[in-house]
Amino acid sequence: MSVMVSAFDAQRTRTSEKYTTYPPEVLPMFVAEMDAVLAEPIRDALVAAVANGDTGYVGHGRALPEAFADFAAERWSWRVDPDLVRTTTDVSVAAVETLRRVIEPGDQVVVMPPVYPPFWEYVAEAGGSATEVPLLPPTDPGDASSTTAGWRMDLDGVRRAFEDGARTVLLCNPHNPLGLVHPRDELAALARLAAEYDAVVVSDEIHAPLTHADAVFTPFLDSCPVAADLGVALTSASKAWNLAGTKCALLIGASERARAWFDGMPAEVVERTGILGYTASVAAFRAGGPWLASLLAELAANRRTLAERLGEVLPGARYRQPQASYLAWVDLGALPFGDDPAPVLVDRARVALSRGLDFGRQGAGHVRLNFGCSAETLDEALSRLATAR
């Protein structure tokens, strides 16, 4: 059974940003939210909570830390200590509050564009200054059958940033918008480099459960022994199970240093966790595996469809299949759409995609396309995009 619904049906019944930003005639494929039904165990847990009136302030139990620890052990053979897991509203709050503990005002924080646009905002909100060390693009042109594995971190650039005074890296693993799953050896090399300069790595791992079958996700904290002493991982069930509005994320440490950072945060960081998000997250990590497997199968099919058809629909478009997520980073630089193709495609094709420039200067001529949708919706999007030439 498909876990996806028609985007047009979703537009008629849902009120979230994805379905209300544009008029109904525009196909929404921008914000990272899927046209998916709720997993049954999550739906049942939320219905029961509402029926029971369990909608107050979040409690202080261990259900979610233990559920995530079990999920991480089963999926990635990663041993997580539930006592070193905290919850908060969402990954953005987790990132800002962690940065506030590990940097001083004005400190440099390394970010690796093209990257999720709020990363710059996280750094600024925490009082830091973003230092850009762009990812290195593939050395070969590749084709639609290639994956984003050709991209890699610029570790020499990170070293130069450390030599210039940076002491923190805000990592995206898997990397949004590329869907790049950083290999273990590169993560370990980053950890050893950070240790050399007494730096901290804050790793946003929200897309990890969405890793495709042709890649292997490695948690940063588990990449090598030294990584555990200098990092914090941030994650949530929100991307994999489509729960962004329920508001719950996790901060994960693996050292006494991390425990001290967590304990030094204001109590409100945890208190702002949404109780319905907590309830949904426990259900997701405990019982959401079968639904997630169905989702990944549908995403894999959509990923292949894009690889097979995008070049026909938009000759000159370049795309490498993401190793994780439902987000495609598409290079339209060879087409006559300019540096900012997304508004052009809304006007000409009535398809809303994310602006590449929002992800950094490297996004000129690019768009990010959300293929977390039904096969029929993707087919309609491709048909519409063909009219934009």
Q: Domain holding 163: CATH number? A: 3.40.640.10
Q: 231 and 84 in one domain?
A: yes
| Confidence class for position 222, pLDDT limits 50, 70, 90 | very high
Mean pLDDT for 80-88 is 98
Task: Give the model's pLDDT for residue 389.
Answer: 85
Is the pLDDT at 229 greater than 80? The verdict is yes
When pLDDT is cut at 50, 70 and 90, the band that residue 139 belongs to is confident
pLDDT of 176 higher than 90:
yes
- Residue 1: inside a domain: no
Do residue 304 and residue 243 come from a single domain? no
How many domains, the chain? 2
Query: What is the per-residue pLDDT for 140?
Result: 83
**What is the tens place of the pLDDT at every residue in 243-284?**
999 999 999 999 999 999 999 999 999 999 999 999 999 999
Give the chain's mean pLDDT: 97
The fraction of the chain above a pLDDT of 90, given in percent, is 96
* 187 in the same domain as 64: yes
pLDDT at 143: 78
pLDDT tens digits for 98-112? 999 999 999 999 999
Same domain, 226 and 325: no
Residue 63 sits in the same domain as residue 185: yes
Region 306-320: mean pLDDT is: 96
- Asked if residue 282 and residue 293 are part of one domain, the reply reads no
- Indicate whether 119 and 248 sit together in one domain: yes
State the pLDDT confidence band at 141, using cuts at 50, 70 and 90. Answer: confident
Which of 228, 255, 287 terminates a domain? The answer is 287
State whether 230 and 270 are in the same domain. yes
Residue 203 lies in domain: 49-287
How much is the pLDDT for 201? 98
Exposed e or buried b for every residue in 268-286, given b needs 16+ CB within 10 A?
A: ebbebbbbbbbbbbbbbbb
43 part of a folded domain: no
Question: Residue 182: what pLDDT?
Answer: 98
203 and 295 housed in the same domain:
no
This prediction has a pTM of 0.97
**Final residue in a domain of this structure, among 287, 316, 341:** 287
